[in-house]
Structure 1
């Protein structure tokens, strides 16, 4: 039966897990480590407060963690574009496990050291973010382009499932056996995650744009051929400026500058990163939830917990029903629409008169945010050359860290000035308006389209970029890019003459 409603058309696509061993190992390793991380973050804050009785100390240790995460993400991005990403993941995770053992030993002392908690928090921030950045660069490198939306969906589900119950488990274990027990449990879980990741094959930067996994899916018979993505070399610069070939501090600095230059000059990548920052900065009222629930809605701790849980529940439901996402064609307009809608649900949350309505609004915020993240992941993965994915992934992590670190204090100050409800409403409205304005300031978002087989491409803009790139004497392009940039060639006509994709054909395993 075709054309009608089918459950499979809406259900989450598990194909990458079924057919790609490399991705399966990454997914399991990530899921296990996210469960451990959720326990760690809660228990670390609780132990700091238990030792000092100061909320300021809790805020300071989280600030130290955020700063170290930012630094580690930038360093991890360069490393992930220079050496085998599997090696970066394994070494950084091993160092993080050593820090967990240190936390457990410190917690076992009669008088645990507060200074040691700061040191290990910074250690975890640096090592954890290096590994996470390399991990983020590795995921799109091991799956075919056609599977990127499904891959992004599964990684979003991994995050939600891994962090849904772990804070509660960590709190229960801390109450039953003390902080040292929790740290030891987290260390053991992290070792299990490391053992899964150890089974990965090497994931070298730039080795493949399609799939490095031995079980990567092959294109379906009769499917449209994958078009070349946007040129990784922009007008006015050579490919050497973007590659990780330098040594010493100058080489690292050149790599960082090369990644920033690519992200700022590739208009779609720049818009997608900026969009995420705007959402996190203006439309993330999580820091205000306790005050809003208690002072405006008259709820207690249970209602506060309900708000946080509602966001995760909404995200999980949206992820499980995300089978339609890979079929989105006007992906640029849809991303903007999703985030504008999510921002307006933040407004609805700030105007909510009851706990029940507020919980529904937060569930819809969570649903919109996760769909937006899936689409942004897909676009960034398709628009970024593999040898630059580490640095672009570090910028993804940086915009989240900076947006959260700055947005929370700004909203808190605003709540003191105009009230907690009004500042949530204003933040949501500002996020909605500024996100919509990206369609004017970054017009290529309006023309950004994708198909299941060719991926995201603003055909007119990409063709012009490639023409400009070829005319630059210092720029090197491959033969496929040159062919697509022939004067007078109509990219839309090229797409129209490609064989139609037959959804009945399922991807098959390739020979290891």
Structure 2
């Protein structure tokens, strides 16, 4: 258990292998953020077409989802260290390719698209493999802390990496943006090469590591805790599109003030950061599933209250609270999946979970946009969030096994050779 209510740093202190993974993952998040800034800027500069920018982003997102699913399957069958190093190396080479292309007198748009898709596909393989590896490197009672560290690095990267990419592009060029990302990826490969051998787990009784992908579906039906976490995750993602409504909401309530828009966008990330650095209490939760579902419902209730506000300070406070509830869910979803999934299925289940989160955020933005097309922005926030709160409450009532879930010792140990 963690020793206090504040951040539990035991995984970083006690596991050298996890330290390598955490640092490498954080650097990778910054590389992805710089790619997300550099490619749209360059494509728009070359084509002047916003639809083309959208197409490239959609192709990269689709490739990333496919890579997560493929990576999960491969991680349960092949040496995970090899997969991670292979995927990170290919990702680095795509950054090099983008940098070289950007340095040409007439950069090729098809080359940008091809390299971006390859980066999304192959680079995402390492995400599922890394998720499958971590539970073999840290004790079970530290997985909540690992989830909090993951959320914190992801949130920090999402805020800081676009700013870093924009600064590099403005100061130097888009080519240098890609070169910086390539250098960062080389550092991650060096770090990850120091990991122990990570052979795929030996199948436990009743769990065949070479079973077809349908085994994951069967497992989710049998293991109601993990299946429930997946369902709760879908609801969270469907209701996570409220930021789509922020510009219109600010226009209606704060006269389109750009500062207000920026502060509102930052508020949720700030709340998430606050929740993660005070997340030690989550590791002591007797019923983490109940805490997760409660945070799911309350998060949407508070989000609905935002629609009634007309004072910026109150709006920001409510969005910070929304961010807190969201981070609590993310941390607990991670820990419950890792502790209730046999190691022979960790790759595929984590790949499915990661793909679900990426796809779910896009669907959530679409749903929020639909509400925004029917109602004016403040009412759209209220009705969108209220609908999600009702759905979350129904899910809470149905998912009885998840409500009673505890973090129990894994019955499916694995030996890392």
For this structure pair, what is the TM-score category when the shorter chain's length is used for normalisation?
A: over 0.9
The answer to whether structure 1 residue 171 and structure 2 residue 166 are counterparts is yes
Bigger Rg over Cα: 1
Work out whether residues 293 and 403 of structure 2, in 8 Å CA contact, stay in contact via their aligned partners in 1: no
Unmatched 5+ stretches in structure 2: none
Q: 1:427 aligns with which of 370, 376, 384?
A: 384
Q: How does 1:343-362 map to 2 (within 5 A)?
A: 343-362=300-319
Q: 2:94 aligns with which of 99, 109, 118?
A: 99
Partner of residue 176, structure 2: 181
Distance in 1, Cα, partners of 2:80 & 2:249: 43
The answer to whether structure 1 residue 145 and structure 2 residue 140 are counterparts is yes
RMSD: 2.3
Q: 2:25 aligns with which of 16, 30, 46?
A: 30
Work out whether residues 240 and 361 of structure 2, in 8 Å CA contact, stay in contact via their aligned partners in 1: no
Work out whether residues 341 and 368 of structure 1, in 8 Å CA contact, stay in contact via their aligned partners in 2: yes
SS at match of 1:11: coil
Distance in 2, Cα, partners of 1:161 & 1:446: 30
Q: How does 1:2-401 map to 2 (within 5 A)?
A: 9-206=4-201, 239-240=207-208, 243-244=209-210, 254=212, 256-401=213-358
Deviation at 1:304, TM superposition (A): 2.3
Distance in 2, Cα, partners of 1:345 & 1:270: 26
Q: Report Cα offsets for 1:162-193 as digits up to 9, x if no partner.
A: 33322111111111111101011111111111
Q: Report Cα offsets for 1:77-121 as digits up to 9, x if no partner.
A: 100101121111110010111111111112112222222222122
The answer to whether structure 1 residue 449 and structure 2 residue 406 are counterparts is yes
Work out whether residues 315 and 370 of structure 1, in 8 Å CA contact, stay in contact via their aligned partners in 2: yes
The answer to whether structure 1 residue 414 and structure 2 residue 371 are counterparts is yes
Q: Report Cα offsets for 1:389-417 as digits up to 9, x if no partner.
A: 00001111121122122222232132112
The answer to whether structure 1 residue 439 and structure 2 residue 373 are counterparts is no
Unmatched 5+ stretches in structure 1: 1-6, 209-231, 246-253, 457-476, 481-511
Distance in 2, Cα, partners of 1:421 & 1:205: 51
SS at match of 2:279: coil
SS at match of 1:10: coil
SS at match of 2:243: helix
Distance in 2, Cα, partners of 1:151 & 1:79: 23
> Could you list the runs of 4 or more consecutive aligned residues of structure 1 that deviate by over 3 angstroms after TM superposition?
none
Counting helix residues as a fraction of each chain, which structure ranks higher? 2
Distance in 2, Cα, partners of 1:28 & 1:406: 31
Q: TM-score, normalised by structure 2?
A: 0.93
Q: Report Cα offsets for 1:279-317 as digits up to 9, x if no partner.
A: 111233122322322344323333322222222211111
Deviation at 1:207, TM superposition (A): 5.6
Work out whether residues 294 and 300 of structure 1, in 8 Å CA contact, stay in contact via their aligned partners in 2: yes
Deviation at 1:199, TM superposition (A): 0.7
